[in-house]
Structure formats: structure tokens, C-alpha cells
Amino acid sequence: MSKVSPLVDSLIEAFQCLPGVGPKSAQRMTLHLLERNKNAGLVLSNTLEMALEKVDKCKECRIFTENNICEICSNEKRNSKILCIVESVSDVFAIEQSNQFNGHYFILHGHLSPIDDIGPEELALNLLFSKVKKNQVNEVILATGSTLEGETTSHFIFDNLKSVEELKITKLARGVPLGGELEYVDRGTIMHALSDRQILKNDS
């Protein structure tokens, strides 16, 4: 800490709540805002306060939004009959950048991990199963990560949906590297993984 100003020290410490930001990086960010860009700091502060106050999860897909229903779910031009299941909002960003998918999403906000006390309830899987079993979708795309936890989550979802009639279940083609996460995969690879996705259960 600076040992000069309690407020400066508090700001440096506050920045360290961000992933990948250690003391040195937090110190650089703090000094940059205070020395060169106070106006940007005020914008950051105000925007952060508004976002934390107003942003919640979409009632349909669980992406972050300031509305009850997000822009993707409310977009009539998108195909609501195809549902892509991902682990995180950053996965949605990655898929959207590929311009290959025009359906809807369901965000788990994690994966099954008994050691971390993350089970079906924490991932809102009952909401997902209810949505699918009401015949609101024709195809489910399993797009969880290729990590052990991601594969376990994918298998669990498949086992609970495989008995649903007239539902096609597919999985991203394995252009996605083993143990990888979608947010770190390039756009071209995601495009091919979507277009060449593997059929696990046909809609018959």
C-alpha cells in the first residue's frame, strides 16, 4: 500500500477484486485515473453503480440484462426453437461474434461441481428442463466446456432430456480443444463447431 492516502489505498485494494488484477496492476489503474483521467474515472464509477443496481438475469435465458427479458430472447428475428446451452455469459459473447448462430441461449453460470457444492439447483437446471419439456424448443445444443466438469454437466443434461419426444440434441463438434473454454476459442473454430455439431439424439 502507498501509506500516503487511505482513500488511494482503498481504491488500489478495490481494483484487486477483478480477475487477474494484482497489487501492481491495481496501483497502475489507480494512478492512471487520478493523474490523467479523472473524468473517465467518474464515468466508470457512475456506470458501475448503475449496472450493479439495475442489471439482473433474464427470466428466460439468464443472461445479464436490465430488463426482465433480454434483447436476444425478445428478438422476433431469432429462432426460439433452437436452444444453445452454455456455461457463462462470455460463451454467449464468443458465439455471437461467430455470426453462425441465430437461436436462443440458456446460461448455466457454471458447471456441476459437487466439491464446490454446485449442483443442479445452482445451475437452474429445473428451469431448463421445464422450458424444454413444454415443447418450446426443437433442438438443444450442448455447448458446455470440454473440461471434465463441462462434460459431466453435458452428460447430466442429456440424460434428463433424452426421453423428450420430438427433441433433437446436438453437441458442438470438437474443433474446440480438449479442456478448453469457448470464450478463448477463435471465431472460425466456433463457426465450424456449430455448423458441424454432432447429433446425440435425433428428433424422432
In the chain, where are the structural domains located? 6-54, 64-201
Secondary structure (3-state) at 103:
strand
d(CA 72, CA 105) in angstroms, rounded, equals 8
- Residue 4, amino acid: V
Quote the cell numbers at residue 175. Answer: 474443433
pLDDT the model gives residue 201: 65
Please report, for residues 23, 41, 191, the alpha-carbon distance to residue 47 in angstroms, rounded to integers and kept in the order given: 24, 10, 33
Fold (CATH) for 64-201: Dna Topoisomerase Vi A Subunit; Chain: A, domain 2 (3.40.1360)
pLDDT tens digits, residue range 122-140? 999 999 999 998 877 999 9
Q: Which of 1-10, 16-25, 112-121, 188-197 has the lowest mean pLDDT?
A: 188-197
pLDDT the model gives residue 145: 84
Strand partners, 33: none
pLDDT tens digits, residue range 34-65? 998 899 999 999 999 999 999 999 999 999 99
Q: What class, spelled out in words, does domain 6-54 have in CATH?
A: mainly alpha
pLDDT reading at 8 higher than 70: yes
pLDDT the model gives residue 136: 78
Phi, psi of 197 (to 5 degrees): -60, 145
Chain-centroid distance of CA 29 in Å reads 26
pLDDT the model gives residue 174: 61
